[in-house]
């Protein structure tokens, strides 16, 4: 074999080896995925409901229903999105009791901190003689990560120095459980409007030639300088 032929053979072998590595299983696109892509957190909407039976013999809620209503209201104020709907019966024979109970519940919701603009009313068709239940509902969001426990191909992955399918799964599940409001993963929270009185007061001090910085900043500067 001549030297030229030998060089061509070596180049051909190197090209075949490079092609095999490029298309082989060791450097596929799935191996470049991040933990968040391997174990994504899904955010789904969930409707939370509370059913309260209307008692025609009394105009007040029972102690148990009051406690359930308080817990339901706290849940809405913490994780609720959109309106809180109070749905009452219609056509059950005596709609007056249902309307009065709905009004009382809406007032109780407002007293607990729910704005009137967030309380919506609705009705459902009930047959004569059927129970008169009030249904309260709102929407919240739930974050769920992918399930853990996939031990398939562990030895093969260790041989190839690849991470196991469970790598990062527990971390993503813990993160999904710790998120205060999963809706923040869908859209950013609305910011509160700025305090106009604070802005006007600062401008007034500036025009008067007075110091506008807070006393806390001065104390921190003094402590920092003393420690140097």
User: Which residues neighbour 21 within 8 Å (Cβ) at sequence distance 6 or greater?
Assistant: 27
Q: What are the tens digits of pLDDT across the range 215-224? A: 665 555 555 5
* pLDDT at 23 (0 to 100): 45
Q: Which residue has the higher pLDDT, 126 or 140?
A: 140
- pLDDT at residue 8 is higher than 80: no
112 and 73 in contact (C-beta within 8 Å)? Answer: yes
Longest CA span, the chain: 110
Q: What does the chain come to in residues? A: 228
SS3 83: strand
Taking the C-alpha atoms of residue 202 and residue 200, their distance in angstroms, rounded to an integer, is: 5
The mean pLDDT value of the chain amounts to 77
CA angle 130, 133, 139 (to 5 degrees): 135
Residue 191 C-alpha from the chain's centroid: 16
Each domain of the chain, given as residue ranges in start order, spans: 42-143
Q: Which residue has the higher pLDDT, 225 or 102?
A: 102
Flag whether the pTM goes above 0.85.
no
Work out the percent of the chain whose per-residue pLDDT is above 70.
68
Confidence of residue 127 (pLDDT cuts 50, 70, 90): low
Directed axis angle between helix 63-79 and helix 95-111, to 10°? Answer: 50
- pLDDT at residue 14 is higher than 70: no
- pLDDT at residue 29 is higher than 70: no
Lowest mean pLDDT among 81-85, 110-114, 153-157, 178-182: 153-157
Confidence of residue 61 (pLDDT cuts 50, 70, 90): confident
**Which tokens hold the place of 100?**
């009065």
Taking the C-alpha atoms of residue 128 and residue 112, their distance in angstroms, rounded to an integer, is: 33
* pLDDT at 22 (0 to 100): 46
SS3 96: helix
Helix or strand (DSSP H, E) at 140: strand 133-145
Give all strands of the β-sheet with 119-125 in edge-to-edge order.
Answer: 41-53, 133-145, 81-90, 119-125
Domain 42-143: CATH class, spelled out: alpha beta
Confidence of residue 116 (pLDDT cuts 50, 70, 90): very high
Lowest mean pLDDT among 38-52, 58-72, 198-212: 198-212
């Amino acid at each position: 074999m001549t030297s030229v032929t030998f060089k061509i053979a070596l180049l051909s072998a190197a090209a075949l080896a490079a092609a095999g590595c490029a298309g082989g299983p060791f450097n596929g696109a799935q191996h470049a995925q991040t933990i968040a892509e391997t174990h994504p957190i899904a955010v789904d909407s969930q409707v939370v409901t509370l059913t309260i039976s209307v008692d025609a013999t009394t105009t007040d809620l029972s102690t148990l229903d009051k406690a359930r209503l308080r817990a339901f209201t706290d849940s809405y104020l913490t994780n609720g999105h959109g309106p809180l709907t109070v749905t009452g019966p219609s056509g059950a024979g005596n709609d007056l009791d249902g309307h009065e109970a709905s009004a009382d519940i809406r007032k109780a919701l407002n007293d607990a901190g729910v704005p009137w603009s967030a309380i919506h009313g609705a009705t459902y068709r009930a047959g004569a003689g059927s129970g008169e239940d009030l249904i309260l509902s709102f929407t919240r969001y739930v974050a769920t990560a992918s399930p853990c426990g996939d031990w398939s191909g562990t030895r093969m992955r260790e041989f190839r120095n690849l991470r196991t399918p469970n790598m990062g799964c527990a971390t993503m599940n813990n993160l999904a459980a710790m998120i205060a409001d999963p809706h923040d993963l869908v859209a950013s929270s609305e910011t509160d409007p700025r305090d106009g009185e604070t802005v006007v007061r600062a401008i007034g001090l500036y025009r008067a030639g007075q110091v506008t910085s807070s006393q806390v900043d001065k104390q921190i500067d003094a402590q920092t300088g003393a420690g140097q």
